[in-house]
Amino acid sequence: MTDDEDRTKRLVAAWRGADRVLSRSLLEPTVGELLAALPGLAEADPDEGVDVYGDGVVGRLERRVAELLGMADAAFFPSGTMAQQVALRCWAGRTGNPVVALHPMSHPELWEDGALSTVSGLRTVYPPREARQPTAREVAELPEPFGTLMLELPLREAGFLLPTWEELVALVETGRERDAVVHFDGARLWESTVHFGRPLSEIAGLADSVYVSLYKSLGGLSGAVLAGSASLVAEARVWRHRYGGQIFRQFPQALSGLAGLERVLPELPSYVAGARVVAAALREGFAEAGLPWFRVHPEVPHTHQFQVWLPYEAERLTEAGLRQAEETGRVLFRRWSPGGPPGVSLTELEITAPGLAWTPADVRAAVADFTSHL
């Protein structure tokens, strides 16, 4: 076992044993725990026919997502990477332009090993390079034509940032003025309704196509859904087969996705509210602890996830959080990563149901205890 594997095992053990957490990590459940939860997912009918290449419960999931997003149709994919590859490839064929305008911090650029160009033959251009959402003016001033404007909502790597509703409408309008279609990377679109003050259908309705994840906010086993017009989704299903995504049976993923829509989706606004309480208490706690510098970004979270930056090495911060979890049963921070200037590190916080029980005083006390381990 490598040192990193040993550290991960120790971290997961501490997280599982903790009685106070802001959220549960996707690394925590065991196979047995996930299997035990399957029979009760989404009030599953044990006599329902098993899906075969996308019918049955998979079709039921697709219809439900299309309804929520206000789209004509939707197709289930085993991964978000595949869903977006297919969507952008379909649009390139329809527009005749293989250029995709997107942010350089977006998922296809950072986490897909160059698949857009290597697998799909597409090329990318960047409106801005700063860690923020692009502006309509930056899209309008791109010097070459592009066939698709892809917006990641929220932009995770920049701090789970969303534009304002007016900025989003302007971005979409500008993309269309440039004769482009608009695709939303909405892996975490579910929790954007609070910030925008609009229902999901109105937000998704701005775009020509939308991808959503079934596990990143909803807690499903895996999987993604691509939604759009009936003709686009029909074409996407053909490409899904070509990409190897036409899988014989996927009822566990579909059932867990339906359960997330049923149980977690209605709770997301409360998680966003909880994140704002925790973020404010963290700032107070860091100030009281006398840290030389800190940043909670954004100060008022746009979703139930946000970043924390501290002026220490990532290893030191991760170890401090681990010792706090082992000694007190409280998990405030998990893993830290180097970010920006040398000696500065960042972590991501997500507030879900367990975090709603934390008061501002609880957070400040946990910050004081964490900093004592540095």
Angstrom CA distances, 3 to 10, 299, 315, stand at: 11, 35, 12
Report pLDDT digits (tens) over 23-40. Answer: 999 888 888 888 777 666
What is residue 40's predicted lDDT score, i.e. its pLDDT? 62
Percent of the chain with pLDDT over 70: 98
The radius of gyration of the chain's CA atoms, rounded to the nearest angstrom, is: 21
Report pLDDT digits (tens) over 105-126. Answer: 999 999 999 999 999 999 999 9
- 46: confidence class by pLDDT, cuts 50, 70, 90: confident
What is residue 33's predicted lDDT score, i.e. its pLDDT? 83
Find the mean pLDDT for residues 39-47: 66
Angle between helices 3-17 and 314-328 (to 10 degrees): 40
- 183: confidence class by pLDDT, cuts 50, 70, 90: very high
Q: Of the ranges 48-57, 77-86, 194-203, 227-236, which one carries the lowest mean pLDDT score?
A: 48-57
Distant-in-sequence, close-in-space partners of 69: CB < 8 Å, separation ≥ 6: 200, 201, 204, 205, 210, 212, 227
Under DSSP, the state recorded for 264 is: I
DSSP 224-235: EEEEE-HHHHHH
The C-alpha atoms of residue 25 and residue 110 are separated, in whole angstroms, by 22
DSSP 148-172: EEEEESSBGGGTSB---HHHHHHHH
Find the mean pLDDT for residues 281-290: 97
Find the mean pLDDT for residues 297-315: 98
What is residue 39's predicted lDDT score, i.e. its pLDDT? 60
pLDDT of 357 > 60? The answer is: yes
What is residue 42's predicted lDDT score, i.e. its pLDDT? 54
Residue type for position 131: A
The C-alpha atoms of residue 141 and residue 126 are separated, in whole angstroms, by 11
DSSP 64-114: HHHHHHT-SEEEEES-HHHHHHHHHHHHHHHHT--EEE--TTSHHHHSSTT
pLDDT of 216 > 70? The answer is: yes
Find the mean pLDDT for residues 113-141: 95
The C-alpha atoms of residue 58 and residue 327 are separated, in whole angstroms, by 44
Q: Of the ranges 8-12, 65-69, 361-365, which one carries the lowest mean pLDDT score?
A: 8-12
Angle between helices 80-95 and 230-242 (to 10 degrees): 120
Report pLDDT digits (tens) over 160-169. Answer: 999 999 999 9
The C-alpha atoms of residue 261 and residue 64 are separated, in whole angstroms, by 9
Residue type for position 43: E
